[in-house]
Amino acid sequence: MNPLALTLNEQLNENNPHLLDMMSDLGKNMYYPKGILTQSAEAKATDYNATIGMATNRDGMMYADTLYDMFNHLSPEEVFAYAPPQGLEALRDLWLKKVLADNPDLQEEQITRPIVTNALTHGLSLVGDMFVNAGDTVLLPAHTWGNYNLVYGVRHQADIQKYPIFDENGHYTTQGLVDTLASIEQDKVILVLNYPNNPTGYTPTVDEVHTIVEAVDTLGKRGVNVVTVVDDAYYGLFYEDVYTQSIFTALTNLNNPHVLPIRLDGATKEFFAWGFRVGFVTFGLSNQASKDIVEAKMKGLIRSNNSNGSTPSHSAVRYVLENPEQFNKDIQANVDTLEARYQVTKEWVYREDFQALWQPYDFNSGYFMALRVKDVNAETLRKHLIEHYSIGIVALNDTDIRIAFSCIEKDDIPHVFESIAKGIKDLQN
């Protein structure tokens, strides 16, 4: 093991041995090298800095005017320079302020400064690198985003186990998760919580969050190390009376040494900036030494993975966070549009004349909703709708389909569900 990694682990063992126990072999071996980036940082104040792989002249960085013409509000430094592995420091501070504003029950000293990732999938993968060994148990909801299987099941060779989040009538339930956690016999488990849920668009209520968090706390008090990965990709898109803080907040407030809350969020969905690929990972840690060690290891993982993120994207997100007045109005207008589509969708899917065709799963937030179709195969229906009705949906399994009302105009939603109903009747007959 590299001496730098060994030192980090020794420090972590002194300050937070449970956190060290949670780490994967890769996580324990990871460190941030004192290489080119460190030496370049130390050389910034020199008259002749010949350390970094960029081209400069007396005026600063060399760049192409035709590229720079694409950026109206950013300086050349904010466009062309390398971002550090952990992201632009100003952006990290601004996102931290946003996290605290969105989660009033959270205190700054309880969490790490957010580390910038190449959107949420990169963050999920980094968490896997840090905490998931082959054979470790990863708990996913039965209705889940398929990429979790690639990230944790394929890349990290975890043992994927799933817990139900809906009963036979399509109503959300916490009982499946509570029972699953109560039956855990391993000394470590990675629990993925995704709300608003993709693919079903459900966010728990305050009481439901309390039940989930209590079950996690009980498992931790049994001595089981619980790495809780909170995927908040669709955070803020709430249309009903739900728990509007992140469940990360409630988990962090447990102060259970066997429970490690990790939050993944970002500009992708919250800022309607999908292609910018700007996400964040934040840890629920209050011990400063632990914070420093986790950041060093995460920087090493990023450096060894994609090196660093996109400076123009980081700078653009920083710009709107620094200039929020009009930007917040733009975002709220988009959220209002989605909520109007949600209301129409909810009105149509529960109509009495459709109940022989499908069973909706509870939904109250996000981009999506899901249906359990009756007496037809979901994949067969998907192809039938494309061929005969020019409508695209996602088949989740043999019985369930996902509809993204986020990308259907409000006035077109009735037509879409009427066509899905016709398609099911075609196949039933």
Q: What mean pLDDT is predicted for residues 254-270?
A: 97
pLDDT digits (tens, 9 = 90+) for 6-27: 999 999 999 999 999 999 999 9
pLDDT value for 55: 74
The phi and psi torsions of 213 (rounded to 5 degrees) equal -65, -40
pLDDT at 339 over 70: yes
Give the residue, 71 or 405, on which the prediction is more confident: 405
pLDDT at 49 over 90: no
3-state SS of the chain is: CCHHHHHHHHHHHHHCHHHHHHCCHHHHHCCCCCCHHHHHHHCCCCCCCCCCCCCEECCEECCCHHHHCCCCCCCHHHHHCCCCCCCCHHHHHHHHHHHHHHCCCCCHHHCCCCEEECHHHHHHHHHHHHHCCCCCEEEEECCCCCHHHHHHHHHCCCEEEEECCECCCCCECCHHHHHHHHCCCCCEEEEEEECCCCCCCCCCCHHHHHHHHHHHHHHHHCCCEEEEEEECCCCCCECCCCCCCCHHHHHHCCCCCCEEEEEEEEHHHHCCCHHHCCEEEEECCCCHHHHHHHHHHHHHHHHCCCCCCCHHHHHHHHHHHHCHHHHHHHHHHHHHHHHHHHHHHHHHHCCHHHCCCEEECCCCECCEEEEEECCCCHHHHHHHHHHHHCCCCEECCCCEEEEEHHHCCHHHHHHHHHHHHHHHHHHHC
pLDDT at 108 over 80: yes
pLDDT value for 367: 96
pLDDT at 67 over 80: no
pLDDT digits (tens, 9 = 90+) for 55-66: 777 888 787 887
Give the lowest-confidence range in 71-75, 103-107, 324-328.
71-75
Q: What mean pLDDT is predicted for residues 94-108?
A: 98
Q: Is the dihedral of CA 282, 283, 285, 291 positive or negative?
A: negative
Give the residue, 70 or 107, on which the prediction is more confident: 107
Give me the chain's average pLDDT, please: 94
Q: What mean pLDDT is predicted for residues 124-142?
A: 98
Q: What mean pLDDT is predicted for residues 414-420?
A: 97
pLDDT at 68 over 90: no
pLDDT at 202 over 90: yes
> Which amino acid, 188?
K
Domains defined along the chain, listed by start: 3-32+85-322 (3.40.640.10), 326-428 (3.90.1150.10)
pLDDT at 35 over 80: no
Query: Would you say 88 and 116 are in contact if contact means Cβ atoms under 8 Å apart?
Result: yes
pLDDT value for 36: 66
pLDDT digits (tens, 9 = 90+) for 272-291: 999 999 999 999 999 999 99
Q: What is the pTM of this model?
A: 0.93
